[in-house]
Copies of this chain bind each other. A is one copy, B any other.
Amino acid sequence: MTTNHRPGHLNLNAFLMSSGHHEASWRLPQSGPDATGHDIAHLRRLAQIAERGRFDSIFFADGPGLQGDVGRRPSGTLDPLIVLTAIAAATERIGLVATASTTYNSPYNLARRFASIDHVSAGRAGWNVVTTAGPDIARNFGLDAQPAHAERYARAAEFLEVAFKLWDSWEDDAVVADKAAGIWADSAKIHPPEHVGRYFSVAGALNVPRSPQGRPLIVQAGSSQDGKDLAARYAEAVFTAHQTLGDAQEFYRDLKARTVAAGRDADGVRILPGIVPVIGSTEAEARAQERELDELILPQYAQRQLARTLRLAPEDLPLDRELPADLPDEDEIEGAKSRYTLVVRLARRERLTVRELIGRLGGGRGHRTFAGTPEQVADTLQEWYDAGAADGFNIMPAALPSGLEQFTEHVLPVLRERGLFRTEYEGTTLREHYGLARPANRYATAEQVGA
């Protein structure tokens, strides 16, 4: 009952974002004014395309603040849990994953919201657990500075412990609804956490009965050392960004080993690197599309953003020079550590100028961009899958909806022909799509669990 099975094909998540992952996608002639993160009809349509493709899940990133230049690209996104709920009503099977921060939420309220979405969607909810980098966001929550990186991850671990207790606080058979006796639920089957810890004290049981999946699927997306340790202990799927097969293989081996060391089954965590596919009917056409997008980037926006990431002034980054020689170590970064390292390594390895680096980051903010034919895209996915770099992929179309439609219509059939992807959903819950068992309730007796 509690063993996990690699589903025999790769897992695909559709990472949805306004007009697409390329920062200039909104400027394409075919991009409509509705292609934003606050137009629910647009977001619903994207989810329906992904469901038609039989993707395992859709996903929304999030941070509780308005970040970056609002001139640069569509900004301002609805609360992703509200978006998931609206999409749940317009889809049947696809998994629904949203990001929420452990630094700027309280466990009781957030655990309840995810349990609620799991109920409303009949078992399709997933939570991308993030610790949220950035001083600007801290200032929206009464703090002068962000809590230190290690502190944020320690809080995240305790947050999850509390959430797991809350999700188990009702046994599956707590509701008896005995009209004759006048007993609606059996209070002996409801277990208040009475949690007292370093960051949280949470006394009472959740005010929502246990949800169809027991708890939402736990997703994690930070790749620092602390991030990987959190994933090893709790995550069931991991989103990650790598530019090369070697880096991805190293990450994959490392995380699976940490998961086993944490006492879990290596198959209990699915690793999904991101890829920004730019698809053409010929390779030349794909490259032309990529060029069209890159030429729409206004370098001053990206230069300001890169300066923020590297903690420099924009003047320190002349467009046609390489990055300055002396940059801080990852150790000194209190924000998003792994993203910082990825950007610096990429620039150094390929000796990119600032302008070239900006071009490379414009597509996927550090994720790998790949331009090619549907066969070439399928080839690279298969290569990474076969080479032990991935259990599946986080598909990040450069332009939306067009890029998702192209992937669904042209790449998925190739993957299916090769036996690498499902034709139909076999299960109904997100856990079933990922081949993961429903977790037993910690309070249930062995008999009830069917062991």
User: Using a CB–CB distance below 8 Å, which chain A residues touch chain B?
Assistant: 24, 26-27, 31, 33, 38, 40, 63-67, 69-79, 81-83, 85-86, 88-90, 104-106, 108-109, 112-113, 115-117, 119-120, 136-137, 139-142, 170, 174, 177, 179, 182-187, 190, 200-209, 296, 298, 301
Alpha-carbon gap, A390 to B102, bound state (A): 44
B73, B104, B182: the one contacting A109 at CB < 8 Å is B104
Residues of A contacting B: mostly: loop
Residues of B within 8 A of A72 (CB): 182, 184
**Are B65's CB and A204's CB within 8 A?**
yes
**Are B66's CB and A207's CB within 8 A?**
yes
Residues of B within 8 A of A27 (CB): 179, 182
**Are B184's CB and A77's CB within 8 A?**
no
CB distance from A302 to the nearest CB of B (A): 11
**Are B75's CB and A184's CB within 8 A?**
yes
B26, B78, B86, B170: the one contacting A179 at CB < 8 Å is B26
**Are A185's CB and B71's CB within 8 A?**
yes
Closest to A139 in B: B203
Alpha-carbon gap, A376 to B126, bound state (A): 51
B71, B112, B137: the one contacting A79 at CB < 8 Å is B112
Alpha-carbon gap, A286 to B232, bound state (A): 61
Chain copies in the assembled complex: 2
**Are B109's CB and A66's CB within 8 A?**
no
Residues of B within 8 A of A204 (CB): 65-66, 136-137, 139-140
Alpha-carbon gap, A207 to B69, bound state (A): 12
Known: A70-B187, A182-B71, A184-B71. A26 touches B177 (CB 8 A): yes
Alpha-carbon gap, A90 to B26, bound state (A): 31
Closest to A73 in B: B184
Alpha-carbon gap, A73 to B105, bound state (A): 30
Alpha-carbon gap, A125 to B88, bound state (A): 19
Between A and B, 11 residue pairs with Cβ closer than 8 Å are A38-B116, A40-B120, A66-B190, A66-B206, A71-B185, A76-B208, A79-B208, A85-B85, A140-B203, A142-B200, A182-B301
Alpha-carbon gap, A64 to B33, bound state (A): 38
20 further A-B pairs in the complex, CB-CB below 8 A; given A78-B116, A182-B296:
A24-B182, A26-B177, A27-B182, A38-B209, A40-B120, A65-B108, A66-B190, A66-B204, A66-B205, A69-B187, A70-B190, A73-B184, A75-B185, A76-B209, A77-B208, A78-B112, A86-B89, A104-B108, A105-B109, A140-B203
**Are B71's CB and A183's CB within 8 A?**
yes
Closest to A179 in B: B27
**Are B187's CB and A116's CB within 8 A?**
no
B70, B108, B116: the one contacting A140 at CB < 8 Å is B108
B106, B119, B185: the one contacting A40 at CB < 8 Å is B119
Residues of B within 8 A of A119 (CB): 38, 40, 78
B66, B89, B186: the one contacting A90 at CB < 8 Å is B89
**Are A201's CB and B82's CB within 8 A?**
no
Alpha-carbon gap, A41 to B76, bound state (A): 31
Residues of B within 8 A of A78 (CB): 112, 115-116, 119-120, 208
